[in-house]
Amino acid sequence: MKILFFTGKGGVGKSTLAAATAWQLSKKHRVLIVSLDPAHNLGDIFGVKVRGEMRFSETLYVQEVDLKKLSQDYLKREIKVLSDSYKYLQVLNLDTYFSVLKYSPGIEEYALLTSIEKTIRAESGFEYIIFDTPPTGLTMRFLALPQVTVTWIDRLAQIRQKILEKSYTIQNIMGPQSEGETLLSYDEKDDDILGKLVSLKSNYQSLNKILQGSICSIVLVFNPDMLSLKESMRLIEGLKELHLPLRLLLHNKICLDNLETADRVEKELSKVTSAQLERIMFRPEFQSNEDSALYYIKEDLTKYF
Amino acid sequence: MKFSIFDFLRTICTTIDKTHRSNVCALTVTEVEELQNVFALLLLGSFIGLPSPPSFLAVELLPYMQKELEILNERAQDANDKMAEMFGTLGIG
């Protein structure tokens, strides 16, 4: 299985090129294309209505992720665990106040990452999974999430281990205080918090390994303009910091009028990355909008993956 | 119940033993409570404006944090009397 992420500034043509790649790949392989952008337009590109997941052709499946619903589902699950743990609050009807958690920042990125993880681990028999990502900011945040989280988990687990070690010492000196009292143990499995931290860490490490591994490719889409160049440079820097594999640059919307700028943009980008580059020419058919833009991409995008 | 001198002596020995043991542990107990307090503060630091981990991490661990939250609350209430507690633990005065 191979995983492709199409990233770039808003409006550069990520969705169109992701759809075109999926379409071309689907002629030889089983492909799933997933839109993670809250403003979905895969349905418009394929000219179909996608509600959740749909089968576009024998080998091509299209999926649009409902980010809001995903965040809500995740929070509902967590709020239920909280309400179950603090059952006494139900007596005072205070458990409903946990619902305020839905306003906590960062939940959207987490929901997004969970959705990617679920799709990757589903083992649904797809040879290619293509993710059409939201604009740069949110994409970088959720791609960085596994690494940021692992760093935090490490620090928290260290403190937790120290707490357990010391509690164990106390217990050894004092002995059981009263009948029926359980001994505190320095076994990671007996401490719920450390257990949770350890399981979260192994989960994020394996996800990180997948994202940094050879099966994952990040495709950067950009246009021949300075704004797009600046944002692409930032994205490349960010990907480097996270050790994520940028494999292909797609220079989209090139025409005779902007050839000079296109050369300049490519020259600048070649200074910061050695990833392969493909030019996608702008064609008048795109504007006529007679049919889905999907079929007008003549360049072979499959040869890179 | 019949009074037994052996039982009486045993009780005295057990009490002395317990007192010594708890004296030995007092500092470590305080240390553990402080560590639990620090753990809760780090995890839920956004409440008081500290940089905090990704909020979902706090959400994931919150159901298991009852004791830490109690200590956090206790520490906040006793904050003014920290010196007295330290002196008590170290047996000064």
- Here the ipTM equals 0.77
pLDDT at position A7 over 90: yes
The answer to whether residue A178 is domain-embedded is no
The answer to whether residue A120 sits within a structural domain is yes
Mean pLDDT of A114-130: 86
Residue A258, in any domain of the structure: yes
Query: Are A159 and B31 a contacting pair at CB < 8 A?
Result: no
Name the amino acid, one letter, at A102. Answer: K
Residue B28 contacts A, CB cutoff 8 Å: yes
Per-residue tokens: B16: 């002395």
Chain A contact present for B69, CB below 8 A: no
State the smallest CA–CA distance between residue A274 and chain B in angstroms. 33
Give, in order, the Cα–Cα distances in Å from A25 to each of A153, A183, A233.
39, 59, 28
With 0-12 / 13-18 / 19 or more C-beta atoms within 10 angstroms meaning exposed / middle / buried, residue B92 is exposed
Mean pLDDT, chain A, integer: 83
Which residues on B lie below 8 Å from A160 (Cβ)? Answer: 39
Mutate to test the interface with A, among B21, B29, B32 (most CBs of A within 10 A): B32
Distance from C-alpha of A187 to C-alpha of A203, rounded to nearest angstrom: 20
Average pLDDT over residues A173-190: 64
> Do the Cβ atoms of B24 and A174 come closer than 8 Å?
no
* Cβ-defined contact of A159 to B25 (cutoff 8 Å): no
Which residue among B39, B61, B62 places its CB closest to the CB of A159?
A: B39
Strand order in the sheet with A31-35: A53-55, A60-64, A31-35, A128-132, A2-8, A216-222, A246-254, A276-281
CA distances A183 to A155, A174, A176, A177, A298, Å, are 26, 10, 7, 9, 70
Q: CA-based Rg of chain A, rounded to a whole angstrom?
A: 24
The domain total for chain A is 1
Q: ∠A11-A15-A21 over CA atoms, to 5°?
A: 135
Whether the pLDDT of residue A237 is over 90: the answer is yes
pLDDT band at A104 (very low <50, low <70, confident <90, very high): low
* A60-97 burial: b if 16+ Cβ within 10 Å, else e: bbbbbbebeebbeebbeebbeebbeebeeeeeeeebee
Is residue A179 one of the residues assigned to a domain?
no
Residue A55 has pLDDT above 70, yes or no: yes
So what's the pLDDT on residue A249? 94
Bridge pairing between strands A2-8 and A128-132: parallel
Distance to chain B for A190, nearest Cα, Å: 12
Tell whether the model's pLDDT for residue B77 goes beyond 60.
Answer: yes
- Cα separation, A31 vs A146, in Å, equals 25
Q: Are A233 and A132 in contact (CB under 8 A)?
A: no
Please check whether residue A259 lies inside any domain of the structure.
Answer: yes
Q: Which domain holds residue A259?
A: 2-173+184-304
Task: Establish if A77 belongs to a structural domain.
Answer: yes
Task: Reduce the DSSP state of residue A223 to 3 states and report it.
Answer: coil
- Which pLDDT does position B45 carry in this prediction? 75
Choose the closest CB to B28 out of A105, A166, A175: A166
- Cα(B24)–Cα(A40) distance, rounded to whole angstroms? 64
Given this model, what pLDDT does residue B65 score?
83
Angle, helices A136-174 vs A107-121, to 10°: value is 90
pLDDT surpasses 60 at A193: yes
Look at residues B82, B72, B13 and name the one whose alpha carbon lies nearest to residue B40: B72
Kindly report the number of other CB atoms within 10 A of residue A225's CB atom: 15
Residue B42 φ then ψ, to 5°: -65, -40
pLDDT surpassing 80 at residue A18: yes
pLDDT score for A250: 93
Q: Which of A82, A162, A174 sits opposite B62 (nearest CB)?
A: A82
CA distances from A132 to A20, A63, A84, B56, B91 (A): 11, 10, 37, 24, 65
Instruction: Please judge whether B32 and A166 are an interchain contact, meaning their C-beta atoms are less than 8 angstroms apart.
Output: yes
Please list the residues that pair with A248 across neighbouring strands: A219, A276
Task: Inspect the interface and report whether the beta carbons of A174 and B25 lie closer than 8 Å.
Answer: yes
Which candidate from B22, B42, B59 shows the least CB-CB separation from A156?
A: B42
Q: Which residue has the tokens 């797809």?
A: A126
pLDDT at A2: 92
Provide the percentage of residues in chain A whose pLDDT is more than 90: 32
| Residue A6: predicted pLDDT | 94
Q: Look up the CATH number of the domain holding residue A230.
A: 3.40.50.300
Mutate which of B46, B64, B65 to disrupt the A interface (most A C-beta within 10 Å)? B64
CA nearest B60 in A: which residue?
A78
